[in-house]
Amino acid sequence: MRIPRYALPALATCSLALIPSLGKTDPKPASHSLKLDSSGKGFRLSKAGKPILRYLAKPSAESAKHAPHYSRSGYLHPLFSPSGRIVTGDYASDHPHQHGIFFAWTKSTFRGKPTEFWNQARKLGDVRFHRYLGEERRDTSCSFLFEQIFTSGKDSDKPILKETWRIDVPGKTMPHHQFDLVSTQTCATKDPLLIQKYHYGGMAIRGNSQWMAKDAEGNPKGSMLTSEGKARKNGNHSRPRWVAMHGPVDGQECGVVVMNHPDNFRYPQWVRLHPSMPYFVYAPMVKEPFSIEPGKPYVSKFRYLTFDGKPDLKMIEKAWEDWVGQSSSPAQ
């Protein structure tokens, strides 16, 4: 069921236990509700009263502490573990252009001119929230839809790309938080966007700043693990099915997993694992360029899990197999 579009000031709520279906008798209510509230800077998603994530529709208060070109909207932060610990970071001192879960192309070209949506200090592009598109409710899950625009800069309202994020959240109880994010990018003009060969750029995540702290041996307390058993030192530009990032937050271990769907362009995509900072990005342009063409949507699918404790490989693999509907196999 599709619910009509809303403007940001409206309250956007999808409670599986409370919202009736239109045009038919409502099924037996789900025992746990999903709720999306719009207030302040964006939208806050919770399940059974526990926060899952926030979507930023306006630059956060933190943006005021940085140069204006670093302000951004149209991303997810904070992302919470089941115990309520925050696993994402925003406006990090080393990389203030990295914002929670965000999509940004790096070295790109539009109409013969360079564009840049990642390194905001270059002032060659901007990504921002455009509108909330509504929600879709099913018996056991709910989806929320947002639209961002990619422009040539903060002084431009003419989009180069339009991007829809569809966030699908299950209503059933799990030991971890889980949601799927489908990004659909379309050209807003008759001209393509050329994505140049580069070593990073795409769907990214910045982890909690506490994972920057060093252990007794001088290594970052935040760790990374790929589906092929690789870590930071040997996993950069490998092609995993999923990556887990984890470490202590306020004294307790927690983390996040990002999965890359087999339907994605150039799957299994290369991944940039930073050697010391808590961020990584799936980057399909590592080996060669490509373009997003008019009339040909660029669709990317990702699954996110947040958890408390160390990564549970059995849980992660089951979530992967449930998502893709088939047994997994190592990347080539």
Distance from chain centroid for Cα 317: 20
Residue 55 lies in a domain: no
Residue 107 lies in a domain: yes
Q: Give dist(CA 243, CA 245) in Å, integer.
A: 7
Provide the mean pLDDT of the chain: 88
Q: Can you give the residue range of the structural domain that contains 215?
A: 73-324
Average pLDDT over residues 79-100: 92
- CA distances in angstroms from 206 to 17, 92, 172, 231, 278, listed in the order given: 33, 9, 27, 16, 6
Q: How many residues does the chain have?
A: 332
What pTM was estimated for this model as a whole? 0.90
Q: Is the peptide bond before 68 cis (omega within 30 degrees of 0)?
A: no
Q: Give dist(CA 215, CA 116) in Å, integer.
A: 35
Whether 273 has a pLDDT exceeding 60, the answer reads yes
Q: Give dist(CA 65, CA 71) in Å, integer.
A: 10
Q: Are 205 and 245 in contact (CB under 8 A)?
A: yes
Residue 279 lies in a domain: yes
Residue 258 lies in a domain: yes
Residue 28 lies in a domain: no
Residue 221 lies in a domain: yes
Average pLDDT over residues 94-116: 94
Q: Are 156 and 71 in contact (CB under 8 A)?
A: no
**Quick one: which H or E segment has residue 114?**
strand 113-115
- Give the per-residue pLDDT at 43: 96
Instruction: With CA atoms as reference, report the closest residue to 208 among 225, 217, 220.
Output: 220
- Model confidence at 326, pLDDT cuts 50, 70, 90, reads low
Residue 121 lies in a domain: yes
Residue 166 lies in a domain: yes
Average pLDDT over residues 160-169: 98
Average pLDDT over residues 117-127: 94
Q: In this predicted structure, which of 5-14, 79-88, 291-300 has the lowest mean pLDDT?
A: 5-14
- Give the per-residue pLDDT at 61: 84
Average pLDDT over residues 263-286: 97
Q: What is the CATH number of the domain that holds 110?
A: 2.70.98
The total number of structural domains that make up the chain? 1
Q: Are 47 and 169 in contact (CB under 8 A)?
A: yes
Residue 331 DSSP one-character state: -
pLDDT digits (tens, 9 = 90+) for 197-235: 999 999 999 999 999 999 988 889 999 999 999 999 999
- Give the per-residue pLDDT at 332: 36
